[in-house]
Amino acid sequence: MAKFRFTFGCMNAGKSKTLIEDAKLQDSMGDKVLCVKPRVDTRNNSDFIKSKDNSEIKCITVDKIDFEELTNYNVKTIFVDEVQMFNEEDMDVLASIVDSKNINVCCYGLLKDYKQQMFPASKKLIELGSDLEMISMPCEIYDCTNMATHNTLEKDGKIITIGDSVVIDDGTVVYRSVCRKCYIEAISKENPSLINIQ
C-alpha cells in the first residue's frame, strides 16, 4: 500500500529542507518523484522549492491538486510543499491518488496559523488518516528551553493576532516559532501590542 504522510512543524523548523532531502534521496535510489507547490507561494522562483539554507529542487506550481495532471507524470512519490495553502478538496484528491493509483504522497507544511487555528487542509490530512511526522525545534525566545508549538506573526515590532490565515513573508512581516508559554506571554495584557493585518 502506498504511503500518505503529513510532515509538519512550526515556521523555520526545516519542512522544505526535509522535503528536498527526502525527494533527492528517493531520486538517487532510482525512484521517479514529482515535487509540487501552490502558485500562491510567491517567495521564490516558481520552478523550484527552496529552503532557508538555499538547497532547492525543481517542482511544478499549481493552483489546485488535479488528479489527472499529477498521475500523468507516472512517478512513485509526489512531494507537496506548503500543503496548508491548498484546500480540503485538494487533500481528498491526494488521498485518492494514494488509494487508487498506489502513488506515495508526502505533504509538508504548517499545522496551525499565527492565530493558532488549524489550516483546513492540514486538518483534513489528519481526518483522512495520513501518517503524521512532526519536526521539532526549540522556542526562538532567548533563554527559553521549551519546544516550539506556536507561530507568531509580527509587523513593525507588534504581534498580529487577527487577519488572513495565509500571510506570505514578503520582508515586511516576521514569523517566530515559540512555545505555548512564550506565546501566551506575548499576547497577554502585559504586552498589549496587537494590530490587525488585512
- Which homologous superfamily does the CATH classification assign to the domain defined by 4-135? P-loop containing nucleotide triphosphate hydrolases (3.40.50.300)
C-alpha cell at 52: 532557508
Q: Where are the alpha helices (DSSP H) in 29-154?
A: 67-71, 88-101, 120-127
pLDDT in tens, 120-139: 999 999 999 999 999 999 99
- Highest average pLDDT, of 9-18, 40-49, 181-190, comes from 9-18
Alpha carbons 56 and 18: distance in angstroms, whole number: 11
**What are the structural domain ranges in the chain?**
4-135, 150-193
Element holding 52 (H helix, E strand): none
Closest to 58 in 3D by CA, of 10, 99, 24, 8: 24
What is the amino acid identity at position 19? Answer: L
Closest to 77 in 3D by CA, of 49, 54, 97: 97
Query: CA gyration radius for the chain?
Result: 17
Answer with the residue of higher pLDDT: 163 or 4.
Answer: 4
